[in-house]
C-alpha cells in the first residue's frame, strides 16, 4: 500500500485515516525531515540578498510534509494511542526537537533573517507580524548565543522533548491502571443512576460486565466524590487521584530534571528564571505581573472558601458526622448543601442535557452569532466515536471541517482540548482548516452531561471557532496561534452562552419527554452561579502559584518534591482542606510540554478578558449582530496577526477591567 502522507492531500484537508498504518509515520517523518533540510539549505545558500519573500516566506513554506504527518501523529498520540505509537512518540519527540534545533541554531540562516529585520523596508500587517515572530523564534532558540551555548540549548531542548513525553505517558499509564471495581450493594449507596450507568458502561469496555468501574479520570471521579455515601471509598478514590504519577510509575525524578534543564536554559538565554523566559513572550511579560493578578483574586477567594469550609463542617455535624472536613469530603457535602440551599440536584438537571442536544445547542449559538452552519458528513475518521461536520458560512462558502471526539477511553489522555489536522492559511491558495474537539465524557446511553461538562463542551467549541473562522495568510499566525494568555479568550467567552436562559430554552430539553428545562430550574442554576466559587477559585489559583514556584528562582533546588509543594502552599496560606487542582506528579499542563509551563495562570488572565468582553454582548443583547461581527473580525479572524491587546481593544474599544471577573465569581 502506498503511503497516504506522500500522496496529494484531499481538497478538504482531511487525512486518509482509513489508509494510514504505523510504518507510514516513520517513512513520512524521515522524508519530511530530508525535504525540509533541503529547503532550509536552499534558503541559507541563496546567493541573492535576503528579503521577505526568499527568506521569511520561504521559511514559512518549508516543512509541508512534516507538518502534514505531524498534525496526524501528534493528535493521535493524544486521542487514540497504543503501545506502538507511544514507542514511536518517544523516539520522534527527540528526533523532531533535534531537527528543529538544527534549523534555529543555523547561524547562516539566522543571518539572513536578521538582515530582513535590519532592512529599511517597511512591512505592513501580517508580514511585519510574521517577520517579528520568525525572528523571535530564532532568538528564543539561542540563535544569538555563542556556538557552545547554542549547542547546549539545543541539547536541552531535545532532552526536554523526551522527558515531557515520558511524563505524559506515565500519567496516562497510572490513569488507566487504577480502577475501583464495585458490585451492587452498599458500596454504591448514594450514587444516582446516571453515575452508575456510566460506571457500568466503563466496566463493559474493560471486560467486566455486570460490575461498576470508576477511574481517576475527572469525568468518573468527580461524580463519585459528589454522591458516594461510603466515605472510605471516597478517600480511596481521592488518594488514588492525587497519587497519580507516583503509583505504578514515578514522575518525580522526571520533574526534577525538567525543572533543572529549564532553569539552565533560561540562564543561558540571559533570564533570571524559566518563568521570566516564558513570560517575556506573553501578554503578562513578567512573573510579577502574573502574581499581581493572582494576588488580587487570591485574597477574596480565601475569605469565601473559609466560609464555605465552615458551612460544610456545620453540615457534617448536623448529619451526625464526628470528623473534620477533609479534601475527599468537599464534593460530597457541597452537593448536599447545593440541594439544601437551592433545591438543586444535579440528578434532576442532567436529564435536560443529553450530549447530542448540547452539541446542537453550541452549533446553533455559532449560527446565530456568526451565520455558520454544521452539517454531518460521511468521511473517514480516526475512531468510530468521532463525528464529522462540514462547516459553511452564511453565503454558502466552505469554512472547513469540524470533528467532535466526545468519549473517554484508555487510548486517550485525560482532559479536553482543541487541535487541528490542518490549520487555515492562504499563502498558496485558500486552505480551509480541519479542527477537532476532544472531550472525556463517560460513554453511556443516553450520555447526560452535568453543568461542568456542558461548560467544557462550549469551552472547547470556542477554541474550535477560533480555528475555524481564522482568515489570515500565514499558517504560523492562524487560528489559535496567539500569545498563550490570549488563547483562552474565545473559549471562555463561549461558555457564557451555555447558561443564558434564551439559549437554554433552545437546547435544554428532557431526553425522554422533550420538555424544555423548567424556568425554576434555570433560575436555580443561575442563582447558584457563584456557589462554591471559593473552592473552585482556590484550587485553580493554588495550582497557578505552584506552577510559578517551580519556575521562579529556587524551583531547581527542590530535593524533596512533597516538601517543596507543602512550602509553596504554606507561602500562600492555602486552606488545608482544598488541594491545588493538580499536584506536580500529574500536572500535565506544565510538565508534559513547555507550552503552559509558567503559564497555567492564562485561564484566569483570559477570564478577565472574557468577563469584560461578554459585558459588551450583554450591553446590546447577547446575539447583537454588530457586536458578534466585531468579535469575529477583530478576535476570531485575525489569529496571531495582530498583537493581543490591540485585537482586544479593537473589539472592545478599551482595555479590560478585572471587576467583571470578581463579580462573575462572586468575589467582589
Tell me the CB-side half-sphere exposure of residue 250, using CA atoms within 13 A: 5
Judge whether 462 and 492 are in contact, CB under 8 Å.
yes
What CA–CA distance (Å, rounded) separates 594 from 262? 9
* Ramachandran angles phi, psi of 101, nearest 5°: -60, -40
Give residue 653's region: left, alpha or beta (phi > 0; psi -120 to 50).
left
CA angle 504, 400, 1 (to 5 degrees): 125
Give residue 245's region: left, alpha or beta (phi > 0; psi -120 to 50).
left
> Which has the closest alpha carbon to 464: 383, 372, 379, 528?
372
Judge whether 206 and 179 are in contact, CB under 8 Å.
yes
> Which has the closest alpha carbon to 415: 246, 592, 184?
592
Judge whether 599 and 485 are in contact, CB under 8 Å.
yes
> Which has the closest alpha carbon to 239: 178, 311, 185?
178
The β-bridge partners of 591 are: none
User: What does the buried/exposed string (b/e) look like for 38-60 if buried means 16 or more CB atoms within 10 Å of the residue's CB?
Assistant: ebbeebbeeeeebbbebbbbbbb
Annotated catalytic residue: which of 126, 460, 495, 565? 460
| CA distances (Å), origin 346, targets 215, 329, 406, 423, 522 | 20, 17, 21, 38, 12
* Residues 6+ away with beta carbon under 8 Å from 625: none
| Distance, CA of 601 to chain centre | 12
Which residue is it, cell 470528623? 323
Judge whether 22 and 88 are in contact, CB under 8 Å.
yes
Residue 133 falls in the annotated catalytic set? no
Would you state the cell numbers that stand for residue 242, as one nine-digit string?
492525587
What CA–CA distance (Å, rounded) separates 91 from 87? 7
What CA–CA distance (Å, rounded) separates 604 from 634? 21
What CA–CA distance (Å, rounded) separates 166 from 171? 9
Tell me the CB-side half-sphere exposure of residue 544, using CA atoms within 13 A: 23
Which residue is it, cell 513570560? 279
What CA–CA distance (Å, rounded) separates 475 from 440? 29
Would you state the cell numbers that stand for residue 548, as one nine-digit string?
510559578
What CA–CA distance (Å, rounded) separates 99 from 62? 13
The β-bridge partners of 278 are: none
Would you state the cell numbers that stand for residue 645, as one nine-digit string?
491587546
What CA–CA distance (Å, rounded) separates 216 from 596? 22
Judge whether 329 and 584 are in contact, CB under 8 Å.
no
> Which has the closest alpha carbon to 450: 347, 361, 360, 334?
347
3-state SS, residue 209: coil
Exposed, middle or buried, 497 (CB in 10 Å: 0-12/13-18/19+)?
buried
Active-site positions read 460
Amino acid at each position: 500500500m502506498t503511503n497516504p502522507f506522500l500522496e496529494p492531500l484531499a481538497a478538504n484537508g482531511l487525512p486518509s485515516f482509513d489508509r494510514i498504518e504505523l510504518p507510514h509515520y516513520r517513512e513520512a517523518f524521515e522524508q519530511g525531515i530530508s525535504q525540509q533540510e533541503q529547503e532550509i539549505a536552499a534558503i541559507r545558500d541563496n546567493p541573492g540578498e535576503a528579503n521577505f519573500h526568499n527568506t521569511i516566506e520561504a521559511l514559512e513554506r518549508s516543512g509541508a510534509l512534516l507538518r502534514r504527518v505531524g498534525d496526524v501523529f501528534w493528535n493521535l498520540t493524544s486521542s487514540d494511542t497504543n503501545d506502538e505509537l507511544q514507542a514511536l512518540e518517544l523516539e520522534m519527540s527527540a528526533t523532531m526537537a533535534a531537527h528543529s534545533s538544527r534549523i534555529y541554531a543555523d547561524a547562516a540562516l539566522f543571518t539572513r533573517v536578521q538582515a530582513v529585520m535590519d532592512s529599511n523596508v517597511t512591512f505592513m500587517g501580517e508580514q511585519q507580524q510574521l517577520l517579528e515572530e520568525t525572528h523571535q523564534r530564532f532568538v528564543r532558540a539561542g540563535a544569538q548565543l555563542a556556538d557552545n551555548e547554542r549547542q547546549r540549548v539545543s541539547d536541552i531542548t531535545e532532552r526536554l522533548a523526551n522527558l515531557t513525553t515520558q511524563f505524559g505517558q506515565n500519567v496516562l499509564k497510572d490513569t488507566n491502571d487504577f480502577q475501583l471495581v464495585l458490585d451492587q450493594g452498599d458500596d454504591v449507596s448514594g450514587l444516582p443512576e446516571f453515575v452508575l450507568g456510566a460506571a457500568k458502561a466503563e466496566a463493559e469496555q474493560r471486560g467486566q460486565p455486570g460490575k461498576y468501574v470508576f477511574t481517576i479520570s475527572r469525568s468518573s471521579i468527580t461524580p463519585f466524590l459528589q454522591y458516594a455515601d461510603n466515605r472510605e471509598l471516597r478517600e480511596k478514590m481521592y488518594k488514588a487521584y492525587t497519587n497519580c504519577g507516583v503509583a505504578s510509575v514515578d514522575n518525580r525524578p522526571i520533574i526534577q530534571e525538567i525543572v533543572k534543564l529549564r532553569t539552565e536554559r533560561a540562564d543561558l538565554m540571559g533570564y533570571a528564571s524559566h518563568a521570566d523566559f516564558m513570560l517575556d513572550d506573553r501578554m503578562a511579560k513578567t512573573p510579577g505581573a502574573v502574581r499581581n493578578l493572582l494576588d488580587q483574586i487570591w485574597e477574596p477567594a480565601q475569605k469565601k472558601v473559609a466560609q464555605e469550609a465552615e458551612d460544610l463542617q456545620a453540615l457534617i455535624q448536623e448529619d451526625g458526622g464526628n470528623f473534620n472536613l477533609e479534601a475527599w469530603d468537599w464534593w460530597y457535602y457541597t452537593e448536599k448543601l447545593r440541594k439544601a440551599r437551592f433545591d438543586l440536584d444535579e440528578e434532576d438537571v442532567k436529564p435536560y442535557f443529553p450530549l447530542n442536544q448540547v452539541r446542537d445547542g453550541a452549533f446553533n449559538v455559532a449560527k446565530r452569532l456568526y451565520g455558520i452552519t454544521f452539517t454531518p458528513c460521511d468521511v473517514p475518521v480516526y475512531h468510530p466515536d468521532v463525528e464529522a461536520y462540514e462547516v459553511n458560512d452564511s453565503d454558502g462558502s466552505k469554512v472547513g471541517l469540524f470533528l467532535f471526539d466526545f468519549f473517554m477511553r484508555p487510548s486517550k489522555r485525560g482532559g479536553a482540548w482543541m487541535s487541528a489536522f490542518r490549520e487555515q492559511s492562504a499563502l498558496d491558495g485558500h486552505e480551509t482548516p480541519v479542527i477537532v474537539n476532544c472531550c472525556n465524557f463517560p460513554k453511556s446511553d443516553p450520555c447526560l452531561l452535568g453543568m461542568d461538562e456542558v461548560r467544557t463542551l462550549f469551552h472547547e467549541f470556542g477554541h474550535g471557532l477560533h480555528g475555524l473562522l481564522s482568515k489570515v495568510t500565514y499558517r504560523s499566525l492562524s487560528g489559535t496561534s496567539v500569545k498563550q494568555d490570549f488563547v483562552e479568550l474565545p473559549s471562555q467567552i463561549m461558555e457564557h452562552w451555555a447558561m443564558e436562559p434564551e439559549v437554554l430554552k433552545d437546547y435544554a430539553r428532557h431526553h425522554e419527554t422533550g420538555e424544555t428545562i423548567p424556568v425554576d430550574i434555570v433560575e436555580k442554576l443561575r442563582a447558584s452561579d457563584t456557589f462554591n466559587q471559593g473552592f473552585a477559585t482556590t484550587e485553580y489559583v493554588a495550582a497557578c502559584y505552584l506552577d510559578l514556584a517551580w519556575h521562579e528562582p529556587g524551583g531547581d533546588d527542590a530535593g524533596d518534591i512533597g516538601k517543596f509543594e507543602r512550602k509553596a502552599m504554606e507561602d500562600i496560606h492555602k486552606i488545608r482542606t482544598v488541594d491545588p487542582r493538580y499536584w506536580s506528579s500529574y500536572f500535565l499542563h506544565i510538565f508534559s510540554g513547555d507550552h503552559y509551563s509558567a503559564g497555567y495562570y492564562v485561564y484566569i488572565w483570559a477570564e478577565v478578558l472574557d468577563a469584560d468582553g461578554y459585558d459588551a454582548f450583554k450591553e446590546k443583547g447577547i446575539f447583537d449582530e454588530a457586536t458578534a461581527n466585531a468579535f469575529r473580525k477583530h478576535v476570531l479572524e485575525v489569529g496571531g496577526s495582530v498583537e493581543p491587546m490591540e485585537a482586544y481593544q479593537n473589539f472592545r474599544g478599551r482595555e479590560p477591567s478585572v471587576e467583571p471577573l470578581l463579580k462573575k465569581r462572586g468575589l467582589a
